[in-house]
Structure 1
Amino acid sequence: MNDHEQIRILIREVLEDTSLPSALTTHDAARLLGISSRQVERMRIEGTGPPFFKVRGSIRYRRCDLEEFIDAHTHRSTCEYT
Structure 2
Amino acid sequence: MLASEVDLDAHALLPPRQAARYLGLSESTLAKLRSRHARGRGPRYSKLGGSIRYRKTDLDAWIAENATRSPGQAPDVLAVRDDAER
Relative to the length of structure 1, the TM-score reads 0.71
Q: Give the deviation of 1:43 after TM superposition.
A: 0.3
1:41 and 2:46 equivalent?
no
Q: Give the deviation of 1:76 after TM superposition.
A: 2.4
Query: How many residue pairs are counted as aligned between the two chains?
Result: 68
| Larger of the two Rg values belongs to structure | 2
Q: Give the deviation of 1:75 after TM superposition.
A: 1.5
Task: Give the distance between the partners of 1:37 and 1:79, measured in 2 at CA.
Answer: 34
Q: Percent identity?
A: 38
SS at 1:51 equivalent: coil
Tell me the equivalent position of 1:6.
none
CA RMSD of aligned residues (A): 2.3
Structure 1, unaligned stretches of length 5 or more?
1-9
Task: Give the distance between the partners of 1:65 and 1:79, measured in 2 at CA.
Answer: 29
The aligned runs of 1:1-82 (5 Å cut-off) are 10-14=2-6, 17-18=7-8, 22-45=12-35, 46-47=38-39, 48-77=41-70
CA gap of 1:79–1:56, structure 2 versus 1, over 3 A, is: farther
CA gap of 1:79–1:69, structure 2 versus 1, over 3 A, is: farther
Relative to the length of structure 2, the TM-score reads 0.68
Tell me the equivalent position of 1:5.
none
Task: Give the distance between the partners of 2:4 and 2:56, measured in 1 at CA.
Answer: 11
Q: Give the deviation of 1:55 after TM superposition.
A: 1.2
CA gap of 1:56–1:13, structure 2 versus 1, over 3 A, is: same
